[in-house]
Each structure stands twice: as structure tokens, then as C-alpha cells.
Amino acid sequence: MNIHGAMGHIGIAGPIQGTSAQRTPQREQIGKDTSFQRMLQHELTRTEDVQFSHHAKVRMQERGMVMSADMMNKMQQAVKQAEDKGSRQSLIIVDNQAFIVNVKSRTVITALDQASQQNHVFTQIDSAILMK
């Protein structure tokens, strides 16, 4: 079959090849650990971790605050609870230390030790969680 037109001559040189021959290498890839699968797994596990913003890290350092493994577990539980309730911005108090957390990004925005909490007004939060 030939088609003539303004663009010139277009013709089909031979029979159209099926796509099954082209897909064979892709089918062999199924079940293998690809970089996409590793990246996806990393993203899925990463979302469970609570991150600390630069500002929060600086405040913790200035105030001599230390985050133990037990405190971090409590923080992650609290963020999960806030997330389950649909919170966006939460005040989380763990062992007398206060943290403002952006729940969606799982990021601690700022941190206050017990002395800094005195006479402090917390604004722009929609939930508070006390973890003991």
C-alpha cells in the first residue's frame, strides 16, 4: 500500500511486527528487584519517619533538648494518631517537651523545653496530643 501526498511518498515495507517479541525482556523483569521498586519501598518506609526541620533542630540544640529512642517512638505514635484524626498542625507533648508538628509532612516545625513552655500561647494548631 502506498500513500502519495504533499509530504512525499509513504509506504509500508513489510508486515507489521507483533509486540509480544518486544515485551519478552520486560516480562523477565517482573519479580526482579528494580530501582523503581527500591525507590517506592524507600518512599513507603520513609513516610513513617518523623523529620525535624532545621529550625526545630536549632531550637532543640539551643535548649539542650535530647530525643531518646523512646521519645521518638512516642512522637511517631502521636503523629500517627493525629494523622488518623485528620489533623494538619498538632502540638505534641512528650515527656514535658513540646513540639509543633506538620502532620501531613510528618515534620517537627519547632520544639520547646519545659522552661520555654511557661506563659507560651500555641497558635495555628488544630490538635494537641499528650504522650506520657
Which uninterrupted H or E stretch holds 81?
helix 69-84
CA 50 – CA 48 distance, rounded (Å): 7
pLDDT in tens, 66-121: 999 999 999 999 999 999 999 999 999 999 999 999 999 999 999 999 988 888 89
CA 67 – CA 70 distance, rounded (Å): 8
CA 85 – CA 53 distance, rounded (Å): 23
Domains by residue range for the chain, with CATH: 50-131 (3.30.2310)
What's the pTM value of the predicted model, to 2 decimals? 0.64
User: Residue 91: what pLDDT?
Assistant: 97
